[in-house]
Structure 1
Amino acid sequence: MRFVLLGAGVFAASLLVVKGQLGVPSSLPLPVLVAVAAVAGLAAWQARRSWWPLAAVGAAGYVWLVMWPPLLVASYYAGLALSGRRLAAYLGGCLAVCGIAALAGAQRSGPYELMTATTGNALILALAVIGLPLALGLLVRTRREAAVERAERREHEQVMRAEQARAQERARIAREMHDVVAHRVSLMVLHAGALEMRAPDGETERAAALIGGIGREALANLRDVLGVLRTPGRESAVQPPPTLGDLDRLLDQSRALGIAVTRHDEGEARPVEPTVERTAYRVVQEALTNVHKHAGDAATDVLIRYGPGELEVEVRNQAPGSPPGELPGAGWGLVGLRERVELLGGTLRTSAQDGGGFLVSARIPA
């Protein structure tokens, strides 16, 4: 809409100039003058795409009829768009146009000579038609660039403040985990080692060794997490994240704690994305943890099914055979697991089964 109004304004001003109301009257027929003004208005309307046609029409109209509105608007857009050598080239072209117009005015004499060939009038007209709009365009562009620079600087400062706040929060979490969680797990490992050394029988010694091994693995994973928290972007330095290749070791740990775990694989096993494998491993890990917490030594089936475009994981436990021990929990395990699965575009389903069992089922695109 803005360029439509601009085109209409240039058409009206150009028509008034060539008819003599705002410039030198022309002896051309009115239809010709209207056509010339219409061409100028059309070029101004197209300035949203390219203002060079407007500059060409303005140069021709200025030399031929001293029709200055197109050249005035083109000079403003030149100030908005040009810099350096291109701006110097435009100024050189404008000087050439003024020179040619002066020569043409001297040949035609009368009002044309007065407007374009008289030194004082020519300078005033060139300053009003070319210099002032060009300076205005440069001023507007400078202000726009300054505003954009200020906005980018504010955005950068906001990003830096947000990064600093995140870094401080990560450091705080890392300190809390080190001072509380790592300390408690270290005590657990030390007590398990002492129990292993003073075990009265082989079964107790094996159980203590298992607890110590799990605790040391937890400490290693915890150190890895703390390193990532303190140094964002740091790769895992202790050991790579577990995948389905580590699943049997996880199941063996649950079997050593008295749970009868059976693994079933369906479909043709194939390589899938590492993030999918890690998520599938975490599904089984969290489900087995819940079995230990809430179902005691209930028999559990773990199913890994390779579908055409997805990987399905099911962990189904029977009703508890003996009362489970009281293990504390925050209640966020399944919530975090659901978020992890949904981030990959999958779905997680949990439901109680007839007879007292429980099912955790995940479908992950792969």
Structure 2
Amino acid sequence: MRNPGAAPGPAPTWRRRWLAWWDGRFRSLCFDLLFTAMVLQGVSAHHTAPTPLAVCAMVVSAPALLLRRRFPWLPVAAAVLVAFTGAVGPVACVAGYTAARRWGPCRRLWIAGSVVTLAMIPGYYRGIAGSADRLAYVAVVPLAAVGASVLLGLWVFQRGALLASLRDRAEQAERERDLLAERAVEAERRRIAREMHDVVAHRVSVIALQAGGLSVSAPDERTAEIAEVIRRTSASALSELRDVLKVLRDHQPQASGSGPPALDGIATLVDEATAAGTNLRADLPDPLPRVSGAVGRAAYRVVQEALTNAAKHAPHAAIRVTLEVTKDQLQVTVTNRRGAVAGSAVPGSGYGLIGMRERVTLAEGTLRTGGTDDGGYRVRAVFPLGTDKVAA
């Protein structure tokens, strides 16, 4: 639990250094200066003339009251030193409050309270000398005054302790909530990894095995080539899926040589699609521009998703992939003509364009999609170039 007497929050460096004795708060220093001036005014008003005793009382009380937050025992010592002056009451009450506020209900508080109570008796006795009917109260009034100040200080101390406890409980509850949220996210990641392994990985493995068997027993060379392309594509998909599952399940970063394809993987996409019989033309700059990892991955996924959509919705149509580099931009354009036959029966998820737009936005780029004048479809993504943002 925090110390109730400590400062409630962090303060600037210069305030912590110059106002360390006032809990780092300027208003506390101002309050203590004003309070000390008021007490000294009361001490001086108690004496009709500036006697040496009154001057001594003010000299001793001033630093004790001003530095009471840092040294709670100073008001107690001041009350003892000015015990024989008639104005010891305010100093003694401040000493009782300060000790209770800083120390709480401990042994030091009871010792300090007893000392300041006894210190008030001589001064109070001098003030009522000659009034025999009031001598019975010579110990009652000091005890009541110091007792009230101590009770007030204990109340402030307990209130600070309660607020500190509530603050700690709130922070602990927030930490537990964050921990539960992290556990829920971890459980969801593992569930997704299991589903992807049990469903997707199994289906892609079956496709790879069947394509491998077809490439061996194909009736002609063209069929064998297409089956081999399907097998290689399925094996590549399994490799990428394995990396994704590893990240989902183990939170392990991908090795430098096994990361997701980037800008240099577009040529591989084009070669695979061409080998599969796609009517594809690619205009790629040589050499490829140096881009950040986010831009490279987003550009690769844009081309990949655009080729997939073109194969599904406009099979056997001519496709053109263009990468254009300007001074500060990279433009990726994939355009397909209108398909000669109806779209394939391959079901779509409906999230292809949404995911494509999200990837482009994360890479600080812009995406435009839509039909062309000849009934085809065009996907154009524009990314910023900058070697200072190259990422792994």
* TM-score scaled by length of structure 1: 0.71
CA-CA distance at 1:71 after TM superposition: 5.8
Which structure ranks higher in relative contact order (CA pairs < 8 Å, sequence separation ≥ 6)? 2
Give structure 1 stretches of 5+ with no counterpart. Answer: 30-43
Change (3 A) 1:305 1:137: farther
Q: Give the equivalent residue in structure 2 for 1:40.
A: none
SS of residue paired to 1:328: coil
1:265 pairs with 2:288: no
CA-CA distance at 1:110 after TM superposition: 2.4
- Native 8 Å contact 1:55 1:70 kept in 2: no
Q: 1:110 aligns with which of 85, 105, 126?
A: 126
Q: Distance in 2 between matches of 1:356 and 1:77?
A: 83
Q: Distance in 1 between matches of 2:318 and 2:128?
A: 106
Change (3 A) 1:310 1:74: farther
Q: Distance in 1 between matches of 2:76 and 2:288?
A: 75
Q: Give the equivalent residue in structure 1 for 2:293.
A: 274
SS of residue paired to 2:344: coil
Change (3 A) 1:111 1:341: farther
- Native 8 Å contact 2:68 2:75 kept in 1: no
Q: Give the equivalent residue in structure 1 for 2:318.
A: 299
SS of residue paired to 1:110: helix
Q: Give the equivalent residue in structure 2 for 1:26.
A: 46
Q: 1:217 aligns with which of 213, 224, 236?
A: 236
Change (3 A) 1:317 1:157: same
Runs of 4 or more, structure 1, over 6 Å off, are 53-62, 112-115
Q: 2:90 aligns with which of 64, 67, 70?
A: 67
Change (3 A) 1:134 1:351: same
Q: Give the equivalent residue in structure 2 for 1:36.
A: none
- Native 8 Å contact 2:270 2:280 kept in 1: no
Deviations 1:202-235 (CA, angstroms, capped at 9, x unpaired): 111110000001011111112222222222x222
Q: 1:285 aligns with which of 279, 304, 310?
A: 304
- Native 8 Å contact 1:106 1:112 kept in 2: no
CA-CA distance at 1:162 after TM superposition: 2.0
CA-CA distance at 1:51 after TM superposition: 8.5
Q: 2:170 aligns with which of 121, 144, 151?
A: 151
CA-CA distance at 1:328 after TM superposition: 1.5
Give structure 2 stretches of 5+ with no counterpart. Answer: 1-26, 50-64, 386-392
Change (3 A) 1:78 1:243: same
1:358 pairs with 2:363: no
Q: Give the equivalent residue in structure 2 for 1:236.
A: 254
What are the equivalent positions in structure 2 for 1:94-133 lying under 5 Å apart? 98=116, 102=119, 110-111=126-127, 125-129=145-149, 131-133=150-152
Change (3 A) 1:74 1:315: farther
Deviations 1:84-137 (CA, angstroms, capped at 9, x unpaired): 9xxx8xx79x78x959x949x96897229999xx777656544433x3344333
Amino acid at match of 1:278: R
CA-CA distance at 1:270 after TM superposition: 4.2
Change (3 A) 1:270 1:58: farther
- Native 8 Å contact 1:54 1:70 kept in 2: no
Deviations 1:315-349 (CA, angstroms, capped at 9, x unpaired): 22222355443321111011011122223333221
Q: Give the equivalent residue in structure 2 for 1:34.
A: none
SS of residue paired to 2:282: strand
1:137 pairs with 2:120: no
Change (3 A) 1:150 1:319: same
Fraction of identical pairs, as percent: 34
RMSD (Å), alpha carbons? 4.6
Amino acid at match of 2:206: L
Q: Distance in 1 between matches of 2:48 and 2:292?
A: 78
SS of residue paired to 2:285: strand
CA-CA distance at 1:196 after TM superposition: 0.5
Q: Distance in 2 between matches of 1:178 and 1:205?
A: 28
Amino acid at match of 1:235: P
